[in-house]
Structure 1
Amino acid sequence: MEMAELTALLTPEGLRLLDEVGPLESTADVASAVSRLRAAGNSPDLVSAVVGQARLRVRARAKFGDFASGMLFTRAGLEQATRLSVAARHAGRFRDAGLTRIADLGCGIGGDALGFAGLGLDVEACDADEVTAAIAAYNLAPFGDAVSVRHSIAEASDLSQVRGAWLDPARRTAGHTETRRVRPTDYSPNLDWVFGLARTMPTGIKLGPGFERDAIPPEIEAQWISVDGATVELVLWSGALARPGIYRSALVVRGDETHEITSEADADDVETRELGEFVHEPEGAVIRARLIGDVARRLQAGMISDGIAYLTSDAALTSPFVRSFRVREELPFDVKSLAKALRARDIGTLEIKKRGVDIDPAVLRTKLKLSGAASATLIVTRVGERRRALLVDRVD
């Protein structure tokens, strides 16, 4: 969204039209809305803004639920925004630490600030992009004087009145639509400044889950977060926000349930073992936090292969930190033989999971030409130099 579109939208007429248009679920809905709004004589900027926002509100439900229907977005801002359920957990850290007035430095569209304000915290927010800051101000307006939003860079912020800080450094090029990732050395604000701030006051720092582990300051708690199977972020906590004796954490959110495993350090891996009755796929947060060994010991499991994040066991145990599968059998791994075996078992719906092998599941599924009535999961992995294809059924 450009400033001209936002200016057209942030008027009584623009907001009324947005409410009237309602959610646009499909491209056909978008085309119909564009035609109708243009025929009514609305300006191109207003039509573009209204239709774009109506479409983004549909996409935003996954992160913001019912709140999305009253918010504004940019495409890039929505992609980078924290899920509201996760933002509420972050806010809980500040509240529990007694930090009731915080700075949100690089607030984006205001996703994290919504979580903070929703728990009764006062927030001083800023963003370096003028359009994004204006959208954040709109989204946070219901909280009144408890939240202020400025168009400013993080480094220029007056932090004398806050007791903690939250930062989400920009990890992509500037823009509201198509952006590309940048190297950590090009984050904004730069990481030297961010880590320096974390040494002077309690700070939470949101980063991508693939952030280089060697660049994490040793005195900081690192928490990786997975939500419904997707590893969404890494958060670094300093000062009063960091928990004593915890330096590695994996937080797993599944629907309304939340589970966490913590450690003072990376966990030692367990030994490899022969394929058992069950295969377990650790959550991405567990893998990133390098806590697979701790989870494996709880499951009485071993590694299928060195360097491959699949566990196997005979014990009928599972855990919120893994997805568990019961092994039916091992199948030959060449396309012709595999297709024949699946046809013989009447399998037409096949979930394909893989680790340690260079295959494209979508391409493999097309080559298999499945048409049966049954369903199953196929795990393709490697043991040494040998590929293995395991036909399995989900336990959890």
Structure 2
Amino acid sequence: MAYTFSRDDIAYLASPAGAAALAEVGDLALTPASLLKDLERLRKSFGDHAPALVETVRLRRRAAAKLDGAGEWLLTDDALQQATPTAVARHRAHRLAGRTVHDITCSIGAELAELSRVCPAVIGSDLDDIRLAMAAHNLGARKVLLAKADALVPCSSADVVIADPARRADGKRTHDPAKLQPPLPNLLTAYAGRDLAVKCAPGLDFDKLGWAGEVEVVSLDGAVREACLWSPGLAEAGVTRRATVLSSTADPWTLTDADPDEIPEREPGEWIIDPDGAVVRAGLVRHYAAKHGLWQLDPRIAYLTGDKVPEGVRGFRILDRMEFREKPLRAELHRRDCGPLEILARGVDIDPDALRNRLKLKGSQPHTLVVTRIGRTATVFLCATP
């Protein structure tokens, strides 16, 4: 169970004595195997502060891959889970550069840290005293006004309002806009007529939501991180859907529904390409295909095919194609001395792990199966593993 921080904890952790203690604790393993022994040792040195020190060091280690400068941050477990990755927050901040911005669900300040670099005035507010105290520490000397305020009660005249409703209800992740905290319908009513950017789960049904502005789905290093609802005043003219692909090692790129989407209907090419999740969630598979000279295996399926693979993208070279029936598939895989097997599936109801177990492969050659539906036929493509 996660540790519950108090205001006294925050005051101590943010003090010079706390910083020195955190540095000492940071030298310990704090693994599940060593934790009890480490904690016993730390209680002798730091008394009742030991649990807060251990929790902070462990959270900082987890946050290192998500938040720039996490080694100096104060966090809670829930706040870290909900925090926007720095790369995603930085991308959004650049879209808002030059404006005054109020983050009405600021939590520990992950969004504020990036907004403060490019915006002339930034306000952060939250109802959680502990998270606000942590945000004050995390932001350091950055010029950000922090306040305790209800997200559903407008309290500033900032050019833009940013909100990140919590995506859990009754301890479970929810895709119901009315069950977000604060509820999305209430949020939209409270800020009607204002320029608004709302972060939300990419699994929401945006068509049912009836959003009048732009829906941007963002991925980072291959994982879909969030969707952002941009109100009409913040959206690019003529754009209602956008996919933005961020990477730690490559330049970002974006695709919108204003881009061309005309693609041919052809038999499968030499390669199968699985587009980035942001492209799929944003409904821009055809647009991506048109940009890269690809086409679809089936109009209802997100897998693409072509005779070349876009630069920097993982492709699967087709070796064989057959109707999806396990017995002949097993025979073909054994004939090819298949051992390690990656299984990708769309449009068919299969459990890749269960299928892999049933195939009972004992060979040495790695392969990839792409199982999908073409028309009404469940089809399997046997591919070379990249």
- Shorter-chain TM range is 0.7 to 0.9
Structure 1 residues 313-328: aligned runs within 5 Å: 313=306, 315-318=307-310, 323-328=314-319
Structure 1 residues 1-396: aligned runs within 5 Å: 4-5=5-6, 7-8=8-9, 10-11=11-12, 12=15, 13-22=17-26, 24=29, 26-40=31-45, 42-43=47-48, 46-65=49-68, 67-95=69-97, 98-99=98-99, 101-119=100-118, 121-143=120-142, 146-160=143-157, 162-173=158-169, 180-181=173-174, 183-196=176-189, 199-238=192-231, 240-255=233-248, 256-264=250-258, 270=263, 273-313=266-306, 315-318=307-310, 323-330=314-321, 333-335=324-326, 337-393=328-384
Equivalent position amino acid for 1:150 in 2:
A
Which SS does the other structure have where 1:305 is aligned? coil
Q: Residues 11-48 of structure 1, C-alpha deviation per residue, up to 9 Å, x if partnerless?
A: 044443322222757423534432322354622xx333
Summarize the Cα distance change of 1:192–1:21 in structure 2 as closer, same or farther, 3 Å threshold: same
User: Percent identity, aligned pairs only?
Assistant: 33
Alpha-carbon distance between aligned partners in 2 of 1:188 and 1:41, rounded to the nearest angstrom = 37
For the aligned residues, what is the CA RMSD? Answer: 2.9
State whether residues 2 and 131 of structure 1, in contact with CA within 8 Å, keep that contact through their aligned partners in structure 2. no
State whether residues 5 and 49 of structure 1, in contact with CA within 8 Å, keep that contact through their aligned partners in structure 2. no
Equivalent position amino acid for 2:66 in 1:
K
Alpha-carbon distance between aligned partners in 1 of 2:127 and 2:352, rounded to the nearest angstrom = 41
Summarize the Cα distance change of 1:289–1:16 in structure 2 as closer, same or farther, 3 Å threshold: same
Alpha-carbon distance between aligned partners in 2 of 1:190 and 1:152, rounded to the nearest angstrom = 16
State whether residues 322 and 381 of structure 2, in contact with CA within 8 Å, keep that contact through their aligned partners in structure 1. yes
What's the CA shift for 1:235? 0.9
Which SS does the other structure have where 1:58 is aligned? helix
Summarize the Cα distance change of 1:319–1:304 in structure 2 as closer, same or farther, 3 Å threshold: same
Alpha-carbon distance between aligned partners in 2 of 1:209 and 1:132, rounded to the nearest angstrom = 25
What's the CA shift for 1:258? 0.5
Summarize the Cα distance change of 1:168–1:333 in structure 2 as closer, same or farther, 3 Å threshold: same
- Number of residues paired by the alignment? 380
Higher deviation after alignment, 105-114 or 359-368: 359-368
What's the CA shift for 1:274? 2.5
State whether residues 198 and 238 of structure 1, in contact with CA within 8 Å, keep that contact through their aligned partners in structure 2. no
Alpha-carbon distance between aligned partners in 1 of 2:18 and 2:237, rounded to the nearest angstrom = 50
Task: Give 5+ residue unaligned stretches, structure 1.
Answer: none
What's the CA shift for 1:157? 4.2
Summarize the Cα distance change of 1:232–1:186 in structure 2 as closer, same or farther, 3 Å threshold: same
Summarize the Cα distance change of 1:325–1:254 in structure 2 as closer, same or farther, 3 Å threshold: farther
Q: Residues 148-206 of structure 1, C-alpha deviation per residue, up to 9 Å, x if partnerless?
A: 2223211234213x2221111222248xxx65436211223332343346543322111
What's the CA shift for 1:108? 2.2
Summarize the Cα distance change of 1:226–1:274 in structure 2 as closer, same or farther, 3 Å threshold: same
What's the CA shift for 1:209? 0.7
Alpha-carbon distance between aligned partners in 1 of 2:315 and 2:128, rounded to the nearest angstrom = 44
